[in-house]
């Protein structure tokens, strides 16, 4: 069976798929066709049910039908996560984000939902994630919500860190991991047995990367966006962790908690049944 497999051009995703890409993890039952797009594009393609397996924002799962979450491959922060930045000396504080113009990397991103949970409504300005710092510096927006490696690499001489969503989430949930990215598989195109087999195979790919860290980071460097190897290795270690191997009860509870909070605040309008395989 040929499977369309969507993932982002980001180092942590590339690291997880290194086992597949290197050919060291495979199955005679699956032929994998890689589809590489930014996360918000993958969210939209999942809404249209265009991919058999794909990375999506955990937030996007609230709007999907006939997809099940794979137990492996999740990106969860452990008391860290997306960061809101503002121009140095602008006077923007967390309290002033409500109704501010904030650059976001996509409306269905988990970062966007987490910021709404933290501060309430704000004026969303949707731009590509890599241009968010420039949008802040140019004055196009009052603040920007940075994801991926920009969380740790934004220029502290030009920007103030206004709000770190990882510690905020940690304080609100009693230490649950921060749910950011997940991988989902289609119940329309794959049988229950195929879903289980591919889920197990994906865990093997992640474990292969962790067991061959240097080679997997070397592979991930093609998506480094100009960052040095030590930065990419640090970022990968942050977001490819024990919960990435298997989200387990804490990962599932974190996703359920995010949707419960979102429904209570009116950002998600129905109960979301979290199904993991």
Question: Does residue 160 lie in a domain region?
Answer: yes
Average pLDDT per 10 consecutive residues for the chain, totaling 277 residues: 93 94 94 93 97 97 96 96 96 93 96 97 94 97 94 94 97 98 97 97 96 96 94 94 95 98 94 95
The domain tally of the chain equals 2
- Does 71 share its domain with 185? yes
CB-based contacts of 1: which residues, under 8 Å, 6+ apart? 29, 30, 31, 190, 194
Do 183 and 245 belong to one domain? yes
CA angle 117, 132, 90 (to 5 degrees): 80
Judge whether 271 lies within some domain.
no
Q: Is 274 among the domain residues? A: no
Q: Which of 173, 204, 228 is the last residue of a domain?
A: 173
34 tagged catalytic:
no
Which of the residues 7, 34, 59, 148 is marked catalytic? 148
Q: Which residue in 259, 256, 254 sits closest to 269, CA to CA?
A: 259
Tell me which of 173, 208, 240 is where a domain ends: 173
* Structural domain contains residue 277: no
Instruction: Annotate 60-109 with DSSP letters as a single string.
Output: GGGG-SSEEE-SS--EEESS---EEEEETTS---GGG-TTSEEEES-TTS
Full residue range of the structural domain in which residue 115 is found: 83-173
> Are 162 and 183 in the same domain?
no
d(CA 55, CA 211) in angstroms, rounded, equals 22
User: Do 183 and 206 fall into the same domain?
Assistant: yes
In this structure, are 150 and 199 located in the same domain?
Answer: no
Identify whether residues 167 and 193 lie together within a single domain.
no
Q: Domain check: are 242 and 113 in the same one?
A: no
Joined tokens for residue 190: 């794959």
pLDDT of residue 7: 93
Q: What is the CATH number of the domain that holds 100?
A: 3.40.190.10
In a shared domain, residues 41 and 90: no
Q: Say if 276 falls within a structural domain.
A: no
Is the domain of 11 the same as that of 27?
yes
Same-domain check for residues 162 and 201: no
Considering just the CA atoms, what is the radius of gyration of the chain in Å? 18
Residues 144 and 182 in one domain: no
In a shared domain, residues 23 and 133 = no
Last residue of a domain, one of 143, 173, 203: 173
Residue 257 contacts by C-beta under 8 Å, 6 or more apart in sequence? 173, 176
Helix ranges restricted to H, the chain: 11-16, 18-21, 39-47, 110-119, 132-138, 150-153, 165-173, 192-211, 213-220, 229-239, 242-245, 248-264
């Amino acid at each position: 069976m040929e499977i369309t497999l969507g993932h982002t051009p980001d180092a942590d995703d590339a690291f997880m798929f290194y086992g597949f890409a290197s050919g060291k993890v495979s199955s005679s039952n699956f032929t994998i066709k890689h589809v590489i797009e930014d996360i918000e594009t993958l969210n939209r393609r999942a809404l249209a049910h265009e991919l058999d397996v794909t990375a999506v924002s955990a937030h996007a799962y609230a709007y999907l039908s006939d997809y099940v979450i794979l137990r492996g491959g999740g990106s969860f922060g452990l008391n860290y996560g997306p960061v809101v930045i503002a121009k140095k000396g602008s006077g923007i504080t967390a309290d002033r984000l409500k109704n501010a113009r904030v650059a976001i990397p996509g409306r269905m991103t988990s970062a966007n939902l987490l910021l709404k949970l933290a501060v309430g409504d704000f004026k969303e300005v949707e731009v590509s994630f890599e241009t968010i710092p420039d949008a802040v510096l140019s004055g196009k927006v009052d603040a920007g919500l940075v994801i991926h490696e920009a969380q740790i690499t934004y220029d502290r001489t030009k920007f103030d860190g206004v709000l770190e969503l990882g510690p905020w989430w940690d304080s609100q949930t009693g230490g649950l991991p921060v749910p950011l990215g997940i991988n989902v598989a289609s119940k329309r195109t794959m049988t229950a047995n195929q879903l289980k087999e591919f889920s197990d195979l994906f865990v093997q790919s992640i474990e292969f990367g962790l067991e061959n860290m240097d080679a997997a980071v070397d592979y991930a460097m093609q998506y480094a966006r100009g960052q040095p190897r030590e930065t990419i290795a640090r970022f990968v270690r942050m977001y490819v962790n024990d919960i990435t191997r298997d989200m387990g009860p804490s990962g599932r509870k974190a996703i359920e908690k995010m949707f419960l909070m979102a429904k209570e605040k009116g950002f998600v309008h129905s109960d979301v049944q979290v199904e993991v395989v």
